[in-house]
Structure 1
Amino acid sequence: MRAVKILFLLAVVITLFSGCKHNPLKVDISDIDKEVEVVPFDEGLFSLEGKDTLQAFVELSNAHPDFFNLYTYRIIKIGGIGDEQFGELMKAFITDTMIQDVKALTDKEFSNYTKLEKQLKKAFKYYSYHFPDKELPTIYTYISGFNQSVVTAENIIGISLDKYLGRNCGYYQQLSTTPQYKVQNMHKNKILSDVAFAWGITEFEEPNAATNLLGNMIQKGKLMYLVDAMLPAVPDSFKIGYTPQQLEWCQMNEPQMWTYLIEKEMLYTTKRMNIVRYINDAPSTSGFPLDSPGRTGVWIGWQIVRQYMKKHPEVTLPQLMANNNYQKILNDSGYNPE
């Protein structure tokens, strides 16, 4: 009996240790000194209410010259500070009843702003670990009036905090331009992966490099692997924006999806509509069952890249991001889900 008990305990220990998979992306960043700057731009903007606005806007513009025009031209789209009606339009924006209410909701949702700031800084320390020579962006947070969630420009990332107020935010139900499947990702746990993915597109994606579905899948898969590297402790569901049920569906149906793409000769299709149906966000993937999520092509590309990097530990993240030989990545990955 004693021998049986010892064997049983050994079996339990082996099972526990075999289940603990080492994540090679959980690297030591304690010695990384470079740190991204996070600027709460909305605090500066809304503090100007009731002041000599045009002069105050000029001062705010001087304080943030690289971001101010991006904000006024591209995000809230009211033009530039030199335009005749700029002061009135800006004043109307920050005093608007809805915007004021949204600002209050945002302040409540992000009352622990320091936590978000620390998370962003940590993500970019991981980025600096892999890309020590790359310049870090400055990150600005703000109220956009429900415009783009994340915008990027040269050395700039902008985050619309009012696009991350939670799935149950009443305003999201009123936005006719925002379908319900997108609303499921409008919560603060999605900010980090949205930022990492958007920055990856800005820094590494070559728009004309991928000409067929396979190329697009692996191109997006590389970006998802960059998200892995910047956010090694974040759950996959938050990284790709799936519910736990959708993620489980992909894991359970991975072999069937891959077989379908091969049998239907989809991997090398260059038809835009065929590429879009597997790559773009949607309530489900056309051609797959209705309970499938959208962007399943991105998810499969992500698994291919993960398998490639697991099989080739000598490949660095910069080498991966520079490799646009998508067919070779597939071949060298040995990807064959069963």
Structure 2
Amino acid sequence: MHRIIGILLMVVFVLSACRSGEQKDESLQTSVKVLRYDRLQYEATVMNSVSALQKMNIDCPQATKLLIEDVLGIGSVAEPDINDRLCAYYSDSLLVRLMDDVQEKFKDLSGIEADLTKGFRNLKREVPAIPVPRIYSQISALNQSVVVGDSLLGFSLDKYLGQDYPLYKRYYYPFQRRSMVPERIVPDCFTFYLLSLSPFPWEEGHRTLFDFMMYRGKIAWTVEHILQSDGSGRLTLGYTREELNWCRKYMDALWKEMAEKEHLASTDPMLIRSYTSGEQTLTFNGEKMPPCIGIWLGMQLVDKYMKNNQRLTLKDLLGKDDFSDLMHTPKH
């Protein structure tokens, strides 16, 4: 009798294991590895390595095309002297120092790879159709922080050396430098990737501040969700504890004022920018509002919406463009 029970239990275990294997999405098991394209750039330009330059063109043609044509804007990869121009561009003493500091600061990207892996596994689990791009690190000469191409995502290590990095103080305002920290690499990668997959539908008629707040809010909420953050905005917006306390204190009052001043229905691009950019230009109650306050408010309404509609999936949320049904129910 014990033997029969044992056999039955073994059969159940095997069948369960088979079913589990059938349901397993192999893409969820793949660890994200970051291609150190920045090291090829360093070797090709600073170290004058011909082989590294060849690898950039032969092994990484798409990343090289993006770098030359879109990020740096120095010409076409098809031009015969483009390699010489690329090396000359990076021979500037400031850029050489920048590349040296990048190599010293980012010797190991395993922590970033682990967080990217976690995020993409969670994203694929809820939205299986979303592709996982090839990811690489680069040195953009202080141009774009994140670039997205066809099945490709690159992040610029030279834009994340820390807000107190001396060179940044010469070229960036304090509100810009606060996001130039290593902790923002992963959330920025997911933010720009999701924005590229689901661009804001400007062409579909007049789009209001409320529409844009909810669009950016759903992207920020999704990033915090898949990275298993607390949804407060610390991860995606870089808020301090004091800024979060301020937002929570005045949240309902802000919604009320925005409605009374008819800001929510406005299509003025300058007004939209003032609520969603990193520059602190708005005041309330005699105090400067935290940066990106509109995105934070959108996140909170998205959070409430998802909690009140638990049957909705992340796929449903990302596909939702019209949040007008929530416009009159922002109060928490």
Q: What range describes the TM-score normalised by the shorter chain of this pair? A: 0.7 to 0.9
Structure 2 unaligned spans of 5+: 1-24
Residue 117 (structure 1) aligns with: 113
> In structure 2, how many angstroms separate the alpha carbons of the residues matched to 1:143 and 1:31?
28
> In structure 2, how many angstroms separate the alpha carbons of the residues matched to 1:56 and 1:167?
31
Deviation at 1:265, TM superposition (A): 1.9
> In structure 2, how many angstroms separate the alpha carbons of the residues matched to 1:123 and 1:148?
22
Q: Structure 2 vs 1, CA of residues 299 and 38 (structure 1 numbering), >3 Å: closer, same or farther?
A: same
Residue 32 (structure 1) aligns with: 28
Is residue 166 of structure 1 aligned with residue 154 of structure 2? Answer: no
Is residue 247 of structure 1 aligned with residue 251 of structure 2? Answer: no
Q: Does the CA contact (< 8 Å) of 2:32 and 2:113 recur in 1? A: no
> In structure 1, how many angstroms separate the alpha carbons of the residues matched to 2:196 and 2:34?
18
Deviation at 1:248, TM superposition (A): 1.7
Residue identity matched to 2:129:
D
- 1:38 is paired with a residue whose SS is coil
Residue 232 (structure 1) aligns with: 228
Is residue 270 of structure 1 aligned with residue 276 of structure 2? Answer: no
Which deviations, in whole Å up to 9, do the C-alpha atoms of 1:43-85 show, x marking residues without a partner?
Answer: 12222345574x7534421101221100111112222333243
> In structure 2, how many angstroms separate the alpha carbons of the residues matched to 1:31 and 1:42?
26
Is residue 297 of structure 1 aligned with residue 298 of structure 2? Answer: no
Q: Structure 2 vs 1, CA of residues 190 and 288 (structure 1 numbering), >3 Å: closer, same or farther?
A: farther
Residue 277 (structure 2) aligns with: 280
> In structure 2, how many angstroms separate the alpha carbons of the residues matched to 1:325 and 1:77?
36
Q: Structure 2 vs 1, CA of residues 30 and 87 (structure 1 numbering), >3 Å: closer, same or farther?
A: closer
Which deviations, in whole Å up to 9, do the C-alpha atoms of 1:152-204 show, x marking residues without a partner?
Answer: 122111111011001110000111xx321110111001111111111111011
2:331 aligned to 329, 332, 336, which one?
Answer: 336
Q: Does the CA contact (< 8 Å) of 1:137 and 1:156 recur in 2? A: yes
Q: Does the CA contact (< 8 Å) of 1:41 and 1:142 recur in 2? A: yes
Which deviations, in whole Å up to 9, do the C-alpha atoms of 1:103-158 show, x marking residues without a partner?
Answer: 22112222332212222222211111122122211111111111111111221111
Is residue 259 of structure 1 aligned with residue 253 of structure 2? Answer: no
Residue 219 (structure 1) aligns with: 215
Deviation at 1:276, TM superposition (A): 2.1
Q: Comparing 110-119 with 206-215, which one deviates more in the overlay?
A: 206-215
Is residue 126 of structure 1 aligned with residue 122 of structure 2? Answer: yes
Q: Does the CA contact (< 8 Å) of 1:143 and 1:160 recur in 2? A: yes
Identity %: 24
Structure 2 counterparts to residues 317-328 of structure 1, below 5 A: 317-328=314-325
Q: Does the CA contact (< 8 Å) of 1:277 and 1:286 recur in 2? A: no
Residue 101 (structure 2) aligns with: 105
Q: Comparing 186-195 with 204-213, which one deviates more in the overlay?
A: 204-213
Deviation at 1:96, TM superposition (A): 3.0
Is residue 312 of structure 1 aligned with residue 309 of structure 2? Answer: yes
> In structure 1, how many angstroms separate the alpha carbons of the residues matched to 2:224 and 2:26?
18
Q: Does the CA contact (< 8 Å) of 1:164 and 1:191 recur in 2? A: yes
Residue 63 (structure 2) aligns with: 67
1:205 aligned to 187, 190, 199, which one?
Answer: 199
Deviation at 1:237, TM superposition (A): 1.4
Which deviations, in whole Å up to 9, do the C-alpha atoms of 1:220-262 show, x marking residues without a partner?
Answer: 1111111122211366313112222222211111111111112
Deviation at 1:219, TM superposition (A): 1.0
> In structure 1, how many angstroms separate the alpha carbons of the residues matched to 2:86 and 2:143?
16
> In structure 2, how many angstroms separate the alpha carbons of the residues matched to 1:59 and 1:73?
18
Is residue 183 of structure 1 aligned with residue 165 of structure 2? Answer: no
1:193 aligned to 172, 187, 193, which one?
Answer: 187
Residue identity matched to 1:193:
P
Q: How many residues align?
A: 305
Q: Structure 2 vs 1, CA of residues 239 and 230 (structure 1 numbering), >3 Å: closer, same or farther?
A: same
> In structure 2, how many angstroms separate the alpha carbons of the residues matched to 1:153 and 1:81?
16
Residue 141 (structure 1) aligns with: 137
Q: Structure 2 vs 1, CA of residues 247 and 230 (structure 1 numbering), >3 Å: closer, same or farther?
A: same
Residue 25 (structure 1) aligns with: none
- 2:35 is paired with a residue whose SS is strand
Residue identity matched to 1:242:
Y
- 2:84 is paired with a residue whose SS is helix
Q: Does the CA contact (< 8 Å) of 1:205 and 1:219 recur in 2? A: no
